[in-house]
Structure 1
Amino acid sequence: MRAEEIVDEFPVVDIDSPARDAVKLLADYRLSGLVVGTDTSDKPYAVLPASQVVRFLVPAYVQDDPGLARVLTESMADHAADKLSGKTIRDLLPHKAQQVPIVDAEDTIIEVAEVMSRLHSPLVTVVKDGKLCGVITASRLLAEALKQ
């Protein structure tokens, strides 16, 4: 089985899109991540895992000392998403450039799994003739692997 046989259409967000809109997309469609923009070659610019967005909601001092999470009041926790106001997708991406999980449409599911595993990504982007043709999520890959 080849990657192009199991791709799904997936939303692509622009790097300068409002972060709140992107998070709503993640939440509404229960996505494991988002494909961010494309460069001039139509290849994805980045993949933003939902876990990275969740991390953004956690105050830096709680990331430094996880025990502080217990002392935050419920009303403070209820406003965690307020940190997204005025932010863009660019602000949510790690400052250090990450390798984009890209596979070729002709790659096998083992090749797809290797890229997903090595890059710790919940999804991989699939390109054919240099252009984005879809995405394979970890859950889709596992479902296909179980069919074998």
Structure 2
Amino acid sequence: MRARDLVAPFPAVSLDTPVLEAARLLADQDLPGLIVVDEHGRPSSILPGTQVLRLAVPGYCMDDPALARVVDEAHADRFLDALADRKVRAALPPEPRELPITGPQATALELAALMARTHSPLVAIVEDGRLLGAVTLQALLDRLVAS
């Protein structure tokens, strides 16, 4: 089984996409993350959904989880409002990391190793500089378990 057998069309966002729009895309399509593309449409990063949440959760709640319990429910349900003016570039790590990108010839084991090594729930599949789509952790596991 190769990446070309598992790849599916996948939405991409730019560095200047509003984070709230990215969050809606994640929620509306039940995605584990998003592919961030540069101005030429080439993948420049993978944005896991957890990074979107990290941007919205107040720092004091991440530093001390007990403080999250003292926020009343009405305000706790609205914490995503903090994303209103932020762009995707703010959710990306400051240091470049290995990108979970490979070609359509990658094997299932190569995909799994890349996901595990990069802590990414998806791998962008690129051929000749063009984004073909992505292989998600769910799609990979579904095929591996069914085999």
> Do the two structures share a fold, i.e. TM-score over 0.5?
yes
CA deviations 1:107-140 (Å, max 9, x no partner) are 1000000000111100001112232111000000
- 1:15 and 2:15 equivalent? yes
* Cα shift at 1:39: 5.4
Tell me the SS of whatever aligns to 2:8: coil
Structure 1 unpaired stretches of 5+: none
Q: Distance in 2 between matches of 1:130 and 1:106?
A: 14
- 1:98 and 2:112 equivalent? no
Q: TM-score scaled by structure 1? A: 0.93
Q: Report the aligned-residue RMSD.
A: 1.3
Q: Distance in 2 between matches of 1:76 and 1:68?
A: 13
Tell me the SS of whatever aligns to 1:24: helix
Q: Distance in 2 between matches of 1:139 and 1:36?
A: 20
* Cα shift at 1:62: 1.1
After TM superposition, what 4+ stretches of structure 1 lie above 4 angstroms from structure 2? Answer: none
The percent of aligned pairs where both chains have the same amino acid is 42
1:100-115 equivalences under 5 Å are: 100-115=99-114
User: Greater shift after overlay, 50-59 or 26-35?
Assistant: 50-59
CA deviations 1:48-83 (Å, max 9, x no partner) are 000111222211011111111111111221220111
1:50 is matched with 49
Question: Counterpart of 2:2 in structure 1: which amino acid?
Answer: R
1:123-142 equivalences under 5 Å are: 123-142=122-141
Structure 2 unpaired stretches of 5+: none
Aligned length: 147
